[in-house]
A and B are shown apart, each in its own frame.
Chain A
Amino acid sequence: MSAAKDGFVPLRREQQSGLAFCLAGLFLAAPSFLLPFVSLNKFGNTRVCFLMNTAGGLWHNGMAALGGWVLFCGMLAPLALLLVLAATFASELAGSLKANQVLVRAATMLAHWAMPEVMALGVLVSVFKVRDLVNVRLGPGFWCYLATALTLLVALRSFKVEFGDANETSPEGRELR
């Protein structure tokens, strides 16, 4: 007797692992926003920065649009992408085709603008760049953010394996990065 006849449909490994990584990423995203991102010290003055502060410098120097853009690409888009990917994998596992098409399109769009790995590298470059000006220590928020970025990359890989062909033949005719 086949598995389908038993009412049991085997879940696909890619979908399961993709969903697991998305949930792990979402779980790690909370501390990355709430815990100290970096702490800087100059002549005894200590300044603790959180993830949201990283776009604040641009905002306070009259570059609100650019600050918003950094906020979007570095924080909001990755978070939204994790949510959408989790929903995509979940709907795929649940067999909801209609919801899936909308979610796949949203994920494909968001994937172009979510750049947490670039931002993580940017923070590391910045830390080395100013190490002779101020004492910098990376906080737990940064490591959680880095872990979130890595889980997003792995989840995107699973998404690409699952939906890569669909994207190629979609009206947009594009692939995920």
Chain B
Amino acid sequence: MKGTLRIRRPVRSKTAALALAAAVMLLPANLLPVMHIATAGRVPADMTIFGGVKALGESGLWYLAAIVFTASIVVPLVKIAGLAVLLLAACGRLPRHRNRLARLHSLLETIGPWSMLDVFVVGFLSGAVRFGAFGSIEPRGGIISFAVVVVLTLLATQAFDRRWLGSDGPPSNALVHESQAT
């Protein structure tokens, strides 16, 4: 009988740090206004991401509201939650169903860019709607926070290596002492 010592790889700190930073930045991204709308005959107003979704819904464009809600609110949350699951599985805190987790990683890579939707919307509107006193749309600080969330989640997803998931099996401990017959 020969004992072998298998030491778990170090914590996936880069991915974890990026995902954590993205989670923190979600707060200002959703609380701060992303754009300012001023138009003749209406009271100028700041608009948050959720405010924009609500305004679309109230104007009867519920299908667009659903698209923006999914891209700007659901997708970032799913990405952060998904990254947390992947990291926990990679660290051995969750069972490793490799195929399912690899599919989750693929899903995160696929949906990732769609959360840039609101950044493109604000960028386009602030560039196009510039009629001075008649009407203008200006970006506000919240969009920077939101863009940072998007970039951080994209980088975190890219930094995650599927090989960390290893093979299927139960959660492993940090230090596993295995006895193997050789």
The interface of chain A, by Cβ under 8 A from chain B, is: 38, 40, 42-43, 45, 47, 49, 53-58, 61, 63, 66-67, 69-70, 73-74, 112-113, 115, 118-119, 121-123, 125-126, 128-130, 132-134, 136, 172-175, 177
Contact = CB atoms under 8 A, between A and B. Distances in A.
8 contacts: A49-B128, A57-B127, A58-B122, A66-B143, A122-B116, A122-B121, A174-B109, A174-B161
B130 A47 contact: yes
Interface of B: 37, 39-40, 52, 55-56, 59, 61, 64, 67-68, 106, 109-110, 112-114, 116-131, 134-135, 137-139, 143-144, 147, 151, 154, 158, 161-163
B131 A42 contact: yes
B120 A119 contact: yes
Contacts of B113: 73, 112, 115, 118, 177
A45 B131 contact: yes
Given A61-B139, A128-B61, A129-B56, A134 B131 contact: yes
Contacts of B130: 47, 57
Contacts of A49: 127-128
B131 A130 contact: no
Contacts of A133: 37, 39, 129, 135
Contact of B106 (A40, A70, A130, A175): A175
Contacts of A73: 113, 116
A53 B127 contact: yes
Nearest to B160: A174
Nearest to B155: A112
A125 B158 contact: no
A58 B114 CA distance: 20
A28 to B, nearest CB: 19
A57 B126 CA distance: 5
Contact of B109 (A45, A53, A69, A175): A175
A55 B123 contact: yes
Given A47-B128, A66-B147, A133-B129, A58 B123 contact: yes
